[in-house]
């Protein structure tokens, strides 16, 4: 069975993690993904711990299936967020934008599985030594905060470097991507951008339309000069930010310019002045669908492709 290792470990039906997205992956989306047989993951971003506690309780009320929480390690609330995760006995944690090494023992002590997101082999090796349960190897095709290696090259190198299961993220949106990731040695996939257009995702309707309309060359990376590169859809905000970087604006100026710009686009639908985070797979996303239907389509496609492949040899 496709992705058996990760499905057995996590007691999920399909090897699909929903990529956590700040502001737009609350309980509604997470419960729908988990009910659909994947693994829904609450995106915390910079949200306070009280908000997370409410979301966790809402997910538990809506589904008895496993789910996760993503901790964005640049958040000022990380310590309090970890406390809620421990108190609420969240089944699985992913982390982003940093090294979660100092939290590994705490999470393991309460039986919480930990799958840090990594964008390099070095961090993958270091975290395996600390005892993580698995890793998400995320290539630079992803939306939001990105590393600098492609999924195609990162995933097999991480797979070769560690024994724990590896979930591939970045540029994956359909059954073809899932099969490709498994061929690279991954045990499953993380999909973010396609779930922006899930019916249960509270992203602004104009944000969803922008994803659907996007083509292959419609994203760019902002923030290279600040050390926090972020992939977004091209728009006025992204071009202005790039121009400021070209002119050598200070890190503080750039960070101030970017403040609040993600919810402006994602929640309020300001597609000119907001930061429209999206992965390169936006070009593969065609329509709004219920989350369970997205998962079903991906699995049907993947199984069909695997069936065809076995006939080649």
Residue closer to ligand TUI by CB (options 21, 299) is 21
Shortest distance in whole angstroms from residue 58 CB to ligand TUI = 22
SS3 state at 299: helix
Shortest distance in whole angstroms from residue 156 CB to ligand TUI = 18
Residue number of the CB atom closest to ligand TUI: 144
C-alpha separations of 41 from 13, 52, 135, 191, 221 in Å: 15, 12, 15, 11, 24
The single-letter DSSP state of residue 19 is P
Shortest distance in whole angstroms from residue 107 CB to ligand TUI = 16
SS3 state at 128: helix
Shortest distance in whole angstroms from residue 189 CB to ligand TUI = 14
Residue closer to ligand TUI by CB (options 2, 73) is 73
Residue closer to ligand TUI by CB (options 119, 219) is 119
Residue closer to ligand TUI by CB (options 90, 118) is 118
Tokens standing for 290? 């219920």
Q: Nearest CA to 44 among 34, 59, 32?
A: 59
Residue closer to ligand TUI by CB (options 153, 308) is 153
Shortest distance in whole angstroms from residue 229 CB to ligand TUI = 8
Shortest distance in whole angstroms from residue 277 CB to ligand TUI = 6
Backbone dihedral angles phi then psi of residue 214, each to the nearest 5 degrees: -65, 145
Residue 170, phi-psi category: left (phi > 0), alpha (psi -120 to 50), beta (remainder): left
Shortest distance in whole angstroms from residue 15 CB to ligand TUI = 19
Tokens standing for 255? 């960070």
Residue closer to ligand TUI by CB (options 72, 162) is 72
Residue closer to ligand TUI by CB (options 15, 144) is 144
H or E element in which residue 136 lies: strand 135-138
**DSSP string of 230-297?**
EEEE-SHHHHHHHHHHHTT--HHHHHHHHTTHHHHHHTT--TTTS--B--GGGGG----B-HHHHHHH
Residue closer to ligand TUI by CB (options 21, 292) is 21
Residues in touch with ligand TUI (CB under 6 A): 22, 45, 72, 74, 96-99, 117-119, 123, 138, 144-147, 228, 230
Residue closer to ligand TUI by CB (options 45, 91) is 45
Shortest distance in whole angstroms from residue 185 CB to ligand TUI = 20
Q: Quick check: 17 and 277 in contact, CB under 8 A?
A: no
Residue 289 CA to residue 30 CA, distance in Å, equals 15
**DSSP string of 146-182?**
--SS-HHHHHHHHHHH-SS-EEEESS--SHHHHHHHH
Shortest distance in whole angstroms from residue 79 CB to ligand TUI = 17
Owner of token pair 């309020």: 268
Q: Quick check: 72 and 22 in contact, CB under 8 A?
A: yes
């Amino acid at each position: 069975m496709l992705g058996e290792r990760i499905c057995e470990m996590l007691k999920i039906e399909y090897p699909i993690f929903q990529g956590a997205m700040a502001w737009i992956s609350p309980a509604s989306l997470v419960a729908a993904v988990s009910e659909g047989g994947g693994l829904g993951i609450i995106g915390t971003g910079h949200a306070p711990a009280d908000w997370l506690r409410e979301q966790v309780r809402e997910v538990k009320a809506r589904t008895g299936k496993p789910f996760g929480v993503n901790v964005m390690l640049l958040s000022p609330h990380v310590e309090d967020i970890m406390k809620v995760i421990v108190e609420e006995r969240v089944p699985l944690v992913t982390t982003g934008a940093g090294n979660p090494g100092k939290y590994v023992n705490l999470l393991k002590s309460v039986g919480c599985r930990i799958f840090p997101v990594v964008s390099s082999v070095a961090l993958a090796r270091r975290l395996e030594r600390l005892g993580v349960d698995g890793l998400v190897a995320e290539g630079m095709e992803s939306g939001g905060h990105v590393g600098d290696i492609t999924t195609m090259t990162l995933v097999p190198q991480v797979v070769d470097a560690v024994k724990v299961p590896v979930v591939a993220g970045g540029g994956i949106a359909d059954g073809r991507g899932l099969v490709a990731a498994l061929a690279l040695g991954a045990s499953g996939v993380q999909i973010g951008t396609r779930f922006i257009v899930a019916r249960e995702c509270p992203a602004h309707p104009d944000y969803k339309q922008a994803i659907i309309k996007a083509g292959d060359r419609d994203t760019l990376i902002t923030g290279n000069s600040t050390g926090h590169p972020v992939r977004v859809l091209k728009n006025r905000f992204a071009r202005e930010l790039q121009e400021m970087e070209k002119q050598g604006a200070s890190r503080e100026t750039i960070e101030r310019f970017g403040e609040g710009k993600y919810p402006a686009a994602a929640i309020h639908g300001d597609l000119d002045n907001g930061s429209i985070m999206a992965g390169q797979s936006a070009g593969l996303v065609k329509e709004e669908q219920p989350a369970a239907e997205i998962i079903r389509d991906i699995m049907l496609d993947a199984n069909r492709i695997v069936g065809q492949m076995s006939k080649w040899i």
